[in-house]
Structure 1
């Protein structure tokens, strides 16, 4: 058994003790699941040991996020392990204790000015929007406009525990709010434009990883149900119409998974391939988002009325699919990003760049 297989098995064992539940304002995340993951060292996977993490490779962190997404785990693992944590490490900022959830704030209008408390100290003013796990995350990695005279963006680490967040949730019930930063003190580091783009691409890729895993699980459940459910004396899977729907779902899941895996591989190549990471993440997010429409609809059609009930497991993933599809940039926004970047290469390099990315 490989180290990655061991990670997946450990996450599954922990998930087995935490059944998915409908999120409510009173219970907006699975605190017990997060505590068990932290106790097993899984909230530091993929983050360097010298920075306070558990070590391991990017693929290990991706495996944790994929397994939790497929199991409807209501915890901020994707933001923590694939976006905020790595960005702080790459910017040489101190990583908070990995037992404390970290999220990322990449949209909104926030400006920064230098503080007289030190070279890496700043004061932030403005509002961050569409922040995942507001009210849950103890820390935020915020992208802000840098002080006057500096190019790029400022990555700032903010203590979010004392900030009041708006009470907004996505379709799955996961907190997605806004935070007002009114003279908030933070440590920070200036990123180049390429580094800031890479962080945004990481967020899109994190959602793509979650989407791909959830799509795969929905397909598996649907195939199982079609094989077990009897209609007119034979399993649903024996009907040609159902077989065609399952085949269409499988094609979408395979395409989304292939592009997501390619983007993860590009990210693992390092900063020298930062531009490829943005394009690969864009392609993955577009393809995974497009797959949601087909897979979720077909899954509910095959399951029939039972799939729409609160008691059935299907909605725990399909509601997340519909929500995650619109987060970290829509298909339209990433399609425009992908098209503009490929077109900028010129006709002479279009094909080579396109095949290198996807």
Structure 2
């Protein structure tokens, strides 16, 4: 058994004690699940031990994110392990304790001002409203990607302490907090990023959502195949009807395509490929396309029972519909993908396509 298998097994064992539940404004996340994961050192996997993390490889962190997504775990692990934590370390910023939830958001409407308080460079004051912040009101640390101060090219990656900061009550379709944070010269540590660095951070965010989407799509397919084999209609299982078989086959094709592109993007990130952003764009776009097919047909096969609050299916399909529109829309990433491929020129078109996939 590999180390990654042990990590996945541990996460699954923990999940057995925390059944999925419907999120509400009063219960924004699964604090008990987070505590159990943190005590097991799983909220720092993939982050170097010398920086305060738990060590391990990117693949280990991805496996944790996939397992929690498939189990509808209501915790900000994807944001912490795949985006915010690595982004801070990439620019030599201190990593907060992995036991404290950390999240990430793109804050294009926030104004950043350098601050000279005698502590040296890397201190900023942030003013404006950061919208659609994943796990706003839950995460004690928020990493923001914001425009650089006036007259400076690039972006700023800034870490703010949000532990005492109020967040608006906004949620995605799955009930996960997506509120806004109003910043009034909020102090932050940060670093200037080049355009290429900022693009990579955005691509990491898209990949995090693609990883979650891929895991949930696989689980929805698994449940649907199982249900079609067990549910008897007109004297035989649903799975024996040709129309149902065709729907299941189409779902399987969609899931296989998403898994392949997501794995390719993770591989590109692991090997620091210059085409990582394009690979992440392809994975996010393909996952968004698959959501439309898989979620719809899963509910068609399940019938009326799949729409009930008591059934488990909605815990995952509502997440699919939510995550599809987060970390950049299909249209936005399609434009990135198209522009990136065309930039290779005619002779570079086919090599670029084969490297991305």
Identify the TM-score tier after normalising by the shorter chain.
Answer: over 0.9
Partner of 1:12: 12
**Gaps (5+ residues) in structure 2?**
none
Contact 1:108-1:129 at 8 Å conserved across structures: no
Aligned partners of 1:297 and 1:112: how far apart in 2? 43
Contact 2:255-2:290 at 8 Å conserved across structures: yes
Partner of 2:35: 35
Deviation at 1:148, TM superposition (A): 3.8
Deviation at 1:151, TM superposition (A): 2.3
Partner of 1:102: 102
Deviation at 1:146, TM superposition (A): 2.0
Aligned partners of 1:314 and 1:337: how far apart in 2? 33
Aligned partners of 1:127 and 1:27: how far apart in 2? 24
Contact 2:214-2:259 at 8 Å conserved across structures: yes
The CA deviation string for residues 264-305 of structure 1, in whole angstroms up to 9 with x for no partner, is 0001112xx2x4111000000000010001000100010111
| SS of corresponding position for 1:316 | helix
| SS of corresponding position for 2:109 | strand
The CA deviation string for residues 167-221 of structure 1, in whole angstroms up to 9 with x for no partner, is 1000000000111111011111111111100000000000000000000000000
Contact 2:30-2:73 at 8 Å conserved across structures: yes
Partner of 1:299: 298
Partner of 2:186: 184
Deviation at 1:137, TM superposition (A): 0.6
The CA deviation string for residues 211-265 of structure 1, in whole angstroms up to 9 with x for no partner, is 0000000000000000111111111111111100000000000000100000000
Deviation at 1:149, TM superposition (A): 4.2
| SS of corresponding position for 1:213 | helix
Contact 1:108-1:127 at 8 Å conserved across structures: no
Contact 1:219-1:250 at 8 Å conserved across structures: yes
Of the structure 1 ranges 177-186 and 149-158, higher mean CA displacement relative to structure 2 is found in 149-158
Of the structure 1 ranges 156-165 and 246-255, higher mean CA displacement relative to structure 2 is found in 156-165
Of the structure 1 ranges 339-348 and 240-249, higher mean CA displacement relative to structure 2 is found in 339-348
The CA deviation string for residues 306-327 of structure 1, in whole angstroms up to 9 with x for no partner, is 1111111000000000000000
1:212-227 residue pairs with structure 2 within 5 A?
212-227=214-229
1:55 corresponds to 2:52: no
Partner of 2:352: 353
The two structures have a TM-score, normalised by structure 2, of: 0.98
User: How many residues end up aligned between the 2 structures?
Assistant: 355
**Gaps (5+ residues) in structure 1?**
none
Partner of 1:240: 242
Of the structure 1 ranges 215-224 and 116-125, higher mean CA displacement relative to structure 2 is found in 116-125
Aligned partners of 1:318 and 1:185: how far apart in 2? 38
Aligned partners of 2:122 and 2:324: how far apart in 1? 36
Contact 2:104-2:144 at 8 Å conserved across structures: yes
Aligned partners of 1:174 and 1:148: how far apart in 2? 34
Aligned partners of 1:307 and 1:291: how far apart in 2? 19
Residue of 146, 167, 170 corresponding to 1:168: 170
Partner of 2:65: 65
The CA deviation string for residues 24-52 of structure 1, in whole angstroms up to 9 with x for no partner, is 11101000000000000000000000000
1:271-350 residue pairs with structure 2 within 5 A?
273=273, 275-350=274-349
Contact 2:108-2:147 at 8 Å conserved across structures: no
Deviation at 1:84, TM superposition (A): 0.3
Aligned partners of 2:237 and 2:147: how far apart in 1? 58
Of the structure 1 ranges 19-28 and 142-151, higher mean CA displacement relative to structure 2 is found in 142-151
Contact 1:253-1:291 at 8 Å conserved across structures: yes
